């Protein structure tokens, strides 16, 4: 039987992300965002570019909250990536310390279904992350 393991939410002010990019440039972008996230954001212009970065920042923060670690214990911003599925829906991709911590959170014999919801309304970006444990049978039944 599936069960919710954790939930995280973050609200980000796009102006804060824009100020960090203006001040620190590539040093900030390289430290926080994956190569794929940067490429995705850089295909956009102006406010859409900043909104893309802000939504991904909020997703990283929401995921760190759902992990229960924040950005400590070996969990870094770059360990939490956002990728878009072919239809456009966002999904999380965890590596490094974030993936290791999620593995430790996962109940024996179960897998984690990660759900990510993103939205923005200038000047804010919002992300919600849900970790749900599924049995192997539930995972097979929900597969496309």
- Which residues sit in the known binding site for Mg(2+)? 10, 61
Annotated binding site: 10, 61
CA distances from 104 to 34, 108, 111, 136 (A): 23, 9, 11, 17
Give bridge partners of residue 108 from the DSSP assignment: none
Kindly tell me the sign of the dihedral angle through the C-alpha atoms of 58, 63, 69, 71. negative
DSSP state of 144: -
Alpha carbons 141 and 120: distance in angstroms, whole number: 33
Q: Cα 137 to the chain's mean position, in Å?
A: 26
Helix (H) or strand (E) run with residue 26 in it:
helix 26-32
Q: Is the peptide bond before 72 cis (omega within 30 degrees of 0)?
A: no
């Amino acid at each position: 039987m599936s069960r919710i393991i954790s939930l995280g939410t973050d609200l980000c002010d796009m102006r804060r992300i824009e100020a960090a990019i203006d001040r620190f440039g590539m040093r900030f972008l390289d430290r926080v965002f994956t190569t794929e996230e940067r490429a995705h954001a850089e295909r956009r212009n102006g406010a859409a570019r900043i909104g893309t970065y802000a939504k991904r920042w909020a997703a990283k923060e929401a995921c760190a909250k759902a992990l229960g670690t924040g950005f400590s214990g070996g969990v870094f911003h770059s360990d939490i990536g956002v990728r878009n599925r072919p239809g456009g829906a966002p999904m999380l991709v965890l590596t490094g310390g974030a993936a290791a911590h999620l593995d430790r959170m996962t109940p024996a014999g179960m897998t984690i279904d990660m759900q990510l919801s993103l939205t923005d309304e200038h000047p804010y970006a919002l992300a919600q992350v849900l970790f749900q444990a599924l049995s192997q049978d539930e995972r097979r039944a929900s597969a496309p």
